[in-house]
Structure 1
Amino acid sequence: MSRVVDAHQHVWDRSRSAYQWITPDLGELDRDILPDEARRALADAGVDAAVLVQADDSMDDTRYLLEVARAHDWVAGVVGWVPLDDEGAARAALDELAEEPLLRGIRHLVHDDPRDDFLELPAVRASLGAVADAGLAFDVPDAWPRHLAGARRVAEALPALTVVIDHLGKPPAGIDALGAWESELRAVAALPNTVAKFSGLHRPGAPFDAATLRPLLHAALEAFGADRLMYGGDWPMSLPHGGYGPTWALMRGLIDELTAAERAAILAGSAERVYGLTGIRSVRGSRTEHAPTTRIERCPTG
């Protein structure tokens, strides 16, 4: 089996940060999700390693994820958080984290932020310049419809910053709206410093099946090319839908329909390059070494 790096996985401990979005109506997600459970989910699926992604806009959550990463060698890297809307505080936080080699990106929960213009704020733009200077990527979650165009403008304004579109921007469930989403996704992909994750596609009102996801994968593949596309399991958000196994089986089946080179890129190569992952220790027991870089080369098919 080829190497697999899950570019989007979460853990959280509510004794460490607030996670105010986690409420009783989320059912089995309304509890702590700890590293040992995450490791078992990966191991059961035969996935080698994962990138942990922040689940709270707090430095406490970022510090927790880095502690987890240092203690668990299946964690290949961390996408954390800094206060982007305060340039001075963001730079101070980046300075504090500068000696953390496992920090590979920054994210803000833009979909939960009430400010539609968050990505346009001068302080945010200045902070993202500092993120680029630090050699870190910038993840944008659930960008459609409020923030996908803004993510494009960020990538255009800051060509040294790698902008990662989580969950393909979160495509709309309705077929009538897919055209507008795809048009904006292609506009983002036209910029060579952008990347997308084939992840997080459990959407209210839309089936989670091959017939529904296949066109989304192919639209992203045509827009970005495999070298700028990454697999992400988005566990534990898949727990209400059967957990890691069924989600992985469906997504892996679709990826297996592609060429060997495309599979290798989407399942591991793109994540390793985008996040500069090195010395990955597999839950299956082997270590692989890769040279770090956050420079994204435009794929010929993108």
Structure 2
Amino acid sequence: MERTGGGLCAGRVVAVTGAGRGLGRAHALAYAAEGARVVVNDLGVGPDGAPAPDSPAARVVREIEEAGGTAVAHGGDIAAPDGAASLVDTALAAFGRLDTLVNNAGFLRDRMLVNLAEDDWDAVLRVHLTGHFLPLRQAAAYWRAEAKAGRTVTARVVNTSSGAGLAGSVGQGNYSAAKAGILGLTLVAAAELARYGVQVNAIAPAARTRMTEATFAATMTAPRSGFDAMAPQNVAPLVVWLGSGTPSAGVTGRVFEVEGGRITVMDGWRPGPTADKAARWTPAGAGTAVRELLARAEPPRPVYGAGR
């Protein structure tokens, strides 16, 4: 981590969930390098959500401090109301404010649908989707109170979805559903919180982490010209910019795919070809109309792992 003069996020307080490793760690280090004070959250569990022997949050805090930055560790469960509340409370107690929330925590329990147990479904939705909702709700309540008290709020939220949420992924019905839900939550939060000075966006990153190492292992090639396209550090610059104050002003309710050196604005669900009879269709007539519409429509994005 190299600190830059002043920094894009100088003076801001940023909380990053799941920041002990992978993408979250890269985000935390990048924010600190740009002058932010960082709350490093990590529950310290394995990639399947089971308890790990030690929490990495303190190690990331030490990395930030050794580079001249400022950070505190938070080990609470952000998918539980008390843990989400203590995340915001930690920022306020340590730094007196909270400006940016990066929701990143997650894990996998992959199964084909016919083998997917309810516990595995519930656990993944809890950590990914509820783990976005609860910290967002807690932070939003703080920012709303600040705005109502007459104080200027320049708050930012960066949520973490996935290509699985945009297109689906074979063997990841629980994960895909949770990540798609995060996109819906992002759009609603952006609309509801704008009046309080809060911008909410989402990313769909592709990077090599504990969650994706098995996926990328078969397709990984040696970095060209020293550039490792799958490094988590490639995603962090966009996340830092989205979490900044004035530089990112006016950008909200958007979803970005980011991988290596590529950033793409995702358009989401938009109306395609339409047929309007101005009367009730018969089943056969509806079928004929659908066939004609599909012939004019763009083909859907392939589901990951479908072998097309």
The answer to which structure, 1 or 2, has the higher relative contact order (CA under 8 A, 6+ apart) is 1
Higher Rg of the two aligned structures: 2
TM-score range, shorter chain: 0.3 to 0.5
